[in-house]
Amino acid sequence: MKNKFLLVLALFFFTTLRAQKFEGLAMTPPMGWNSWNTFQTNINEKLVKETADKMVASGMKDAGYQYLVLDDGWMAMERDSDGNLVPDPKKFPHGMKELVDYVHSKGLKFGLYNCAGTKTCAGYPGTRGYEYQDARFYASLGIDYLKFDWCNTDGINAKEAYTTMSKALKKAGRPIVFSLCEWGTNKPWLWAENVGELWRTTGDISARFDGYLDHGTWKQSGVMPIVDLQQGLRKYAGPGHWNDPDMLEVGNGMTVNEDRAHFSLWCMLAAPLIAGNDITKMSKTTDDILTNKEVIAVDQDKAGYEGYKYKTMDSVEVYVKPLSNHNWAVCFLNRSDEPKTINFDWQNELISDTLSHETMDAKNTNYQLHDLWKKANIGDTKKPLKTTIEVHDVLMLELTGK
C-alpha cells in the first residue's frame, strides 16, 4: 500500500512538473528579430511598424522568421498606482495593444522583454514580486514571446525566479514562448527544460568574429568564443527546449565571410535565429544570408539535434549535424587569418553520433554533396573533398544518402 502511495505521489509530481509550461511551443528553434543589438533602448512604434513591414517585404517572414521582439526600454520608468507596467507614452503614443495588433496583422508574432530582477538592465521596472500581475498584462496584450533577463538579481535564486515566471505565464492562460536570458551563469540547461523553450548559454554577443569587446566591468564575446562554450551542451537541447548562444550579429559590421560563417554555425548548433540588425536598411547581401532557406532548413530540421565539432585540421574546424532521414550537415570553418586548402577523404571518416545514434559511413553509403551557400551539387563521397576555404569563411554541405 505504501509503495502504491509513493508511486501515485511520484506520478503527481512528475505530471505537475511536465505541466509547468505550455506544451508544443518552439518545436524547432524560434526565428525572429530583436531590437537590442542595434537600437538598445532607442525604440518606438514607428520603428516596430517599419520593421514588421520589412520582415514581410524582405522575404524574412517567408523564410521562417516569426517573432518581432521589443527588448529593454519599451516601458515607462515607473509602474502606475496599481503596480501595472506602462508602455512609454512618448515612444508608443497609441499604446502597446495597437502595436501588437499591427504586427499580428502582418502574419507575424510579437514579443516583449522584462527582467527577473527588481529593475531591467537599463533601469526600467523589473518583474520581481510582480510575476503574476505582469503575466496577466502580457496575456491581455496578446504577446507571443517573452525574453526574461537577469540584471539586478542580488540574492535571488535563478531556478526559483524563472520557475515562478513560467508558472505565472501558464496561469495567465496564453501560450507564450519563454526565453530565459540568464547568461548561463546558473547552468539553466540542467533545470530549465520544463521552465521555458530556450535559455541563454553565455553572456552577450558582439559583432566581432573572435575575441572579446571589453567594457571594463564586463565583456561581450565574439562569435567564436561563444561557439567554443557550447561544447558539452548538445544533449540538453531538442524540440521545445533549446540552447541559445544569443542573437545574430549578421549585418552589424563583420565581413561577409564572417557573417556567413556566423549564420552557418548557429544553424549547425540548432540555435534560435533571432536577427539583431537594422533590417529596414540591410544590404541585399545581408538579406541573402539571413533568408537562405537551404541553410535555415539545417537549423529547423525536425529531428532537433544540435551539431558539434567533429575535428580540427590545420585551423579548419569540421562541424557535423545529424538530420532527418539519415542525412547529415557538415560545415568546414576556416578559423585562421589566411586561406586554407583541405583534402577531406570521406572514405576514411566514420562518424558515429552517440546522441542521435546515427552514423555517417561513406564506405558503405555514397552520399551526394550539396553546397548550401552555392545551392549546387558538387559531387559525392566517393572522392576526397579538395577545396580552398577563404579567411573566416565556411563550406557548408548537406549529405544525402542514396
What is the set of active-site residues?
A: 149, 204
Other CB atoms within a 10 A radius of the CB of residue 164 amount to 19
The neighbour count for residue 177, using CB atoms within 10 Å, is 26
φ/ψ of 156, rounded to 5, equals -100, 135
Number of helical H runs and strand E runs in the chain: 11, 20
Q: What H or E segment, with its residue span, contains residue 352?
A: strand 350-353
Cite the beta strand spans of 150-295 per DSSP E. 177-180, 198-200, 212-214, 219-221, 242-244, 273-275
- Beta strand extents in 143-196 (DSSP E only): 145-149, 177-180
- How large is the C-alpha radius of gyration of the chain? 22
By three-state DSSP, how is residue 31 classified?
strand
What is the chain's length?
A: 402
Q: Are strands 219-221 and 212-214 parallel, antiparallel or unpaired?
A: antiparallel
Sign of CA dihedral 113, 115, 120, 124: positive
Task: Find all residues with CB under 8 Å of 354, minimum gap 6, and list them.
Answer: none
Residues paired with residue 138 on neighbouring β-strands, in sequence order: none
Measured in degrees and rounded to the nearest 5, phi and psi for residue 230 equal -80, -10
